[in-house]
Amino acid sequence: MTQTPAPGAASRSPKDEPVVARTIADLRSLVAAWRRAGLSVGLVPTMGALHAGHLSLVAASQDVCDRTIVSIFVNPKQFAPGEDLDTYPRTWDSDLAALRDVGAHAVFAPIPSEVYPAGHATTVSVANLTDCLDGIARPGFFDGVATVVAKLFLQSGADKAFFGEKDFQQFLVVRRMAADLDIPIDVIGCPTVREADGLALSSRNTYLSAAERAQAPRLHQEMVKAAHRIRSGDGDISAACADAIAALSAEGFGPIDYIEMRDAETLAALSGTDPVIRPARLFAAARLGETRLIDNIGV
């Protein structure tokens, strides 16, 4: 039996090209057609240079949504002067090929002036959750993230959005922002995808030299060791974190922005021999050569 596809819901094979929308108007009309056909929509915000971590978010969306949009936008507002905005990897052709292979339905890839036209003057700022960790190490970063993600949520009108736990503080900030602004979207966190040696996948890993790449998994290994110590009650939290920092410094990591254990919901600091009765995570950020690595794990 053949079925007539609903408007905007034409059946497609995984090898179909995703629809590429460059403007907000094109994105909105695409989503409107899907809506008329009764289809649910998932959004995966990215800055491109896609790897298996990003594609795991696409798969998570495809599991629960009828249509999946991947946004690719290197957001200038989340880079401080002197950071890597100009050199951030841009790999459009291979990104599009990867998204075609996994069957993503659409790519939203606006140019900066589409997102921030002349006169743009509004910043979304989330308090409390941004008072620590990368909120201190990268001033302005979370304002840039919250602003662009709020816009992407409103531009796409998606039902659900998928974020990696790799950037756990970002996930919490985005979830808070959507709740506070009454944006009707479900913000879903997905597990970190790692290399076999434990290094969390990141678009910035391409900056690592061969020697640095060999050393990089030490960050995750020291975090696992510290988490194990904390879990087994061997010494206090601060000592476990300090020892991890010392071990990594001795191996040439640095500066180390933080290795800290925090409440997994509120990001309240945990230290000393506080009994850990709520879900907690160990967060780390450290430079290795020119590359800033971040990671976090549940304790």
Which residues are known to be catalytic?
Answer: 54
Pick from 124, 104, 218: nearest CA to 173:
124
Query: Is residue 201 a contact residue for ligand AMP (CB under 6 A)?
Result: yes
Secondary structure element (H or E) that encloses residue 93, with its range: helix 92-101
Measured from the CB atom, the residue of 73 and 116 that comes closer to ligand AMP is: 73
- % helix / strand / coil in the chain, to the nearest 5? 40, 20, 40
> Closer CB to ligand AMP, residue 71 or residue 215?
71
Q: Tokens 């009765």, residue?
A: 277
- Compute the distance between CA of residue 83 and CA of residue 182 in angstroms, rounded to an integer: 32
Q: Does 217 bind ligand AMP (CB under 6 A)?
A: no
Which is nearest to 266 in space by CA: 144, 124, 129? 129
Q: Which of 27, 43, 57, 244 binds ligand AMP (CB under 6 A)?
A: 57
Binding mask 70-109 for ligand AMP (x = CB under 6 A): ----------------------------------------
For residues 200 and 259, which CB has a smaller minimum distance to ligand AMP in the complex?
Answer: 200
Residue 72: its H or E element: strand 67-72
47/297 with CB nearer ligand AMP: 47
CA 173 – CA 176 distance, rounded (Å): 5
Contact 74, 113 (CB under 8 A): no
Q: Which of 71, 155, 202, 205 binds ligand AMP (CB under 6 A)?
A: 202
- Determine the interface stretch with ligand AMP among 24-32, 151-159, 163-171, 211-219 (rule: CB under 6 A): 163-171
Q: What is the largest CA-CA distance in the chain?
A: 68
Judge whether 157 and 36 are in contact, CB under 8 Å. Answer: no
Q: Do 30 and 8 touch, CB atoms closer than 8 A? A: yes
Closest approach of Cβ 87 to ligand AMP, in Å?
A: 15
Closer of 50 and 240 to ligand AMP (Cβ)? 50
Assess 163 for contact with ligand AMP (CB under 6 A).
yes
Using CB under 6 A, count the residues that bind ligand AMP: 17
Question: Is position 8 an interface residue for ligand AMP (rule: CB under 6 A)?
Answer: no
The minimum distance between CB 61 and ligand AMP, in angstroms, equals 11
Kind plus residue range of the DSSP H or E element containing 161: strand 160-164
Among 42, 54, 138, 297, indicate the residue that binds ligand AMP (CB under 6 A).
54
Q: Name which position in 105, 138, 160, 166 contacts ligand AMP (CB under 6 A).
A: 166
| DSSP conformation class of 165 | G
Cα 163–140–280 angle (5° rounding)?
Answer: 45
The residue sitting closest to ligand AMP, measured at its beta carbon, is 164
Q: Does 205 help bind ligand AMP (rule: CB under 6 A)?
A: no
Q: How far apart are CA 51 and CA 201, in angstroms?
A: 7
Strands (E), 218-279: 256-263
Tell me: does residue 276 bind ligand AMP (CB under 6 A).
Answer: no
Stretch that binds ligand AMP, among 53-61, 62-70, 177-185, 276-284 (CB under 6 A): 53-61
Q: If DSSP codes are grouped into helix, strand and coil, which group holds residue 211?
A: helix
Closest to ligand AMP by CB, 115 or 190:
190
Chain residues that interact with ligand AMP, rule: CB under 6 A: 46-47, 53-54, 56-57, 163-164, 166-167, 190, 192-193, 200-203
